[in-house]
Structure 1
Amino acid sequence: MKPEKPAMTIVTLFFLAITFFTVNLSRAAEPIELKLTHWVPADNVMHKDVFVPWAKMVEEKTAGKVKVTIYPSELLSKARDTYESVVNGTADIGFSHLGLNPGVFTVNQIFGLPFLYPEAPEGSRIITEVYEKEPVLQSEFKDVKLLWFMSSTMLRLHTATKPIRTLEDLKGMKIRTGGGPQAATLKTLGATPVAISPPDVYTALERGTVDGLTFPWEAVDSYKIDEVTKYHNTAGLWGGPFYVVMNLKKYNSLPPDVRKALDSLSGKWASEFSTDLREKADIASREKIRKLKGHEFIDFSREEVVRWKSAAMPIWDEFISSVEKKGIPGKKILEEVNRSVEKYSK
């Protein structure tokens, strides 16, 4: 019996080695999972037409080494907590709005100034270009990896029971907004700004907590805001500056080839990709709402638009003044913004 022991030991070691090799090979083949969080509904253009295809592109570009799992509708983190959830690693990637975290993003709020640019495609190019030139803007994203910027389609006024035909009609109305310069603008124009996350707007309108809101057409459509509003102003007030960021530690831990693939699907390319799709969806939603019974579209005259712009201009001065007091060259940054506006608005 004694001579059999070495043979048994060799066989046992052989099978242990095979098992160890197989388990580790299986682990090596498992894709890196990246959790992407956002607040928009699953039928919104940003989810179904932007992030779902983008996630597939990432998987293909990395030859299956990465799998992006998307959590829409605040399933992983609330809208206002998106940035922090990426910083602390609850999520690996997050899509959010600068106005929801004014304490984090101070100088970048410049991209939310009223009547800054005409439409979303120009807005996305302006934001991306100026950000890349200004270190002070980049410093506010030091705790994350910025993947890309984009402007929402233009935000417009939508109200439940009272139409807004002139600037005077806005006075005293409670209007939902995302915060930042937009809230200050509404206050300057005579309204009472109310900061409410997009998923909670429907209920707020239904209960009369707010009288109206500023939303793009596609958001009115996907959040079913047309069910609780009936008056729609066609004039664009401002674009909403959005960002897609990634947990910095997670990004740096990725293999070089994976980082390279991710970089190729970020930046200017991703900004234009997402903005163009959102713009097309916005136009489609506008026409869909236009056909609904009981809804009125209100066009301002050119003179009325000028009145609104003139009334909002103090916000620009106040913003630049507040930034300059902190030792930040606000005027210089605004000059850079205006150069980009002129460049892309031709």
Structure 2
Amino acid sequence: RGSVDIYSLFGGYTVGNVELMKIFTIPFPPEDFTDKNVLEFANDSRTLEILSEEFENSNVKLLGFINSSGQTTIFLADSIDSLEDINNKRIRGVGGYTDPALEDLDASVVFMSAAEQFLQLQTGGVDGVITTDSSYVNLGLSEVAPVVIDGSIVKTPYPLIMNKKKWNALSEEQQINIESAVEETITWSSNNFEEESQRLSSRINEEAGEIYQLTESEVATANEIRNKYLTEFSNEYGDKGRSLVDIYNEYIE
């Protein structure tokens, strides 16, 4: 709408307008799909070409992607003895395939903004939230959600986006300067993310009361859920969907 000229946001928040962004909400990514791989996949020229067309349908210019802040996982108010214990728990989702994946585990999905997380956990409005390590640390969520499920539930980069009309109004020199700044930002993000991620992980280990490790059988269940939604994405979004899944798979093999 042109309310702002340029912005970055959690990729899952865009899926309502750009459905192909759901490729970044595939749940339970494998361990070898590292944050470095996520960023390379997102900024692969083939990925950008497909997604740029979809963003432009919403009058938005996609400039590129940067990393988010630490892993994105489930944080819970109470202890669990198994993944089955999230059955019937009310958990804040983050859009895309993370929501039906929670339902596959028999949890109830609750929609709320990031700013509401502490209060909703404190008052019992939800039993848990999917959020980033950064939000957990910066919002003091350990006070109300001391239990952490180890490992990423989803790995979603942040798109750098701009109002398309504003972009078109720029001179060629200005556009080149912005593209150069974006390249520098992506490089900076890639070079500094691991250190920041480790810092946040250390804070999680210090602040969390319990870190739950998935068992081998639970990892197998998580893998089945991931493959289910990769197949669903391919089937639902035709040639573009299949192309994105093919590129995705290149970065996890």
Same fold? TM cut 0.5: yes
Matches within 5 A, 1:49-60: none
Report the secondary structure of 2:161's partner residue: strand
How far has the Cα of 1:135 moved from its partner?
4.1
The residue aligned with 2:210 is 296
How far has the Cα of 1:275 moved from its partner?
4.4
Q: Which runs of 5+ in 1 are unaligned?
A: 1-87
Q: Name the CA distance, whole Å, in 1 between partners of 2:148 and 2:200.
A: 13
The residue aligned with 1:236 is 152
Output one character per residue of 1:140-190: Cα deviation in whole Å (capped at 9) or x when no partner: 1112222221343331111012x2342211211111121111111111122
Q: Name the CA distance, whole Å, in 2 between partners of 1:199 and 1:178.
A: 13
Report the secondary structure of 1:239's partner residue: coil
How far has the Cα of 1:216 moved from its partner?
2.3
Q: 1:262 to 1:134 in 2, by over 3 A?
A: closer
Q: Which runs of 5+ in 2 are unaligned?
A: none
**From 27, 30, 33, the counterpart of 1:114:** 27
The residue aligned with 1:172 is 88
Letter in 1 for 2:247: E
Q: 1:165 to 1:151 in 2, by over 3 A?
A: farther
Output one character per residue of 1:166-219: Cα deviation in whole Å (capped at 9) or x when no partner: 221121111112111111111112211222221121111112111111222222
How far has the Cα of 1:102 moved from its partner?
2.5
Q: Name the CA distance, whole Å, in 1 between partners of 2:145 and 2:240.
A: 41
Structure 1 stretches of 4+ moved >6 Å? none
Letter in 1 for 2:232: E
How far has the Cα of 1:262 moved from its partner?
1.4
Length-normalised TM-score, structure 1: 0.65
The residue aligned with 2:8 is 95
Letter in 2 for 1:322: E
Q: Name the CA distance, whole Å, in 2 between partners of 1:278 and 1:252.
A: 31
> Does the 8 Å CA contact 2:47/2:244 hold for their aligned counterparts?
no
> Which has the larger Rg?
1
**From 256, 277, 280, the counterpart of 2:172:** 256
Q: Name the CA distance, whole Å, in 1 between partners of 2:232 and 2:46.
A: 24
**From 276, 283, 287, the counterpart of 2:202:** 287
Q: Which moved more, 1:209-218 or 1:256-265?
A: 256-265
> Does the 8 Å CA contact 1:121/1:272 hold for their aligned counterparts?
no
Q: What is the aligned residue count?
A: 248
Matches within 5 A, 1:39-188: 88-116=1-29, 118-129=33-44, 132-133=46-47, 135-142=49-56, 143-152=59-68, 153-161=70-78, 163-188=79-104
Q: Name the CA distance, whole Å, in 1 between partners of 2:7 and 2:229.
A: 29
Q: Name the CA distance, whole Å, in 2 between partners of 1:164 and 1:305.
A: 16
**From 152, 155, 163, the counterpart of 1:247:** 163
> Does the 8 Å CA contact 1:176/1:214 hold for their aligned counterparts?
yes
Q: 1:202 to 1:272 in 2, by over 3 A?
A: farther
Q: 1:235 to 1:323 in 2, by over 3 A?
A: same
The residue aligned with 1:75 is none
Q: 1:245 to 1:188 in 2, by over 3 A?
A: same
Length-normalised TM-score, structure 2: 0.87
**From 236, 250, 253, the counterpart of 1:339:** 250
> Does the 8 Å CA contact 1:97/1:243 hold for their aligned counterparts?
yes
Q: Name the CA distance, whole Å, in 2 between partners of 1:332 and 1:259.
A: 28
Q: 1:102 to 1:288 in 2, by over 3 A?
A: closer
Q: Name the CA distance, whole Å, in 1 between partners of 2:60 and 2:186.
A: 18
How far has the Cα of 1:329 moved from its partner?
4.0
Q: CA RMSD in A?
A: 2.2
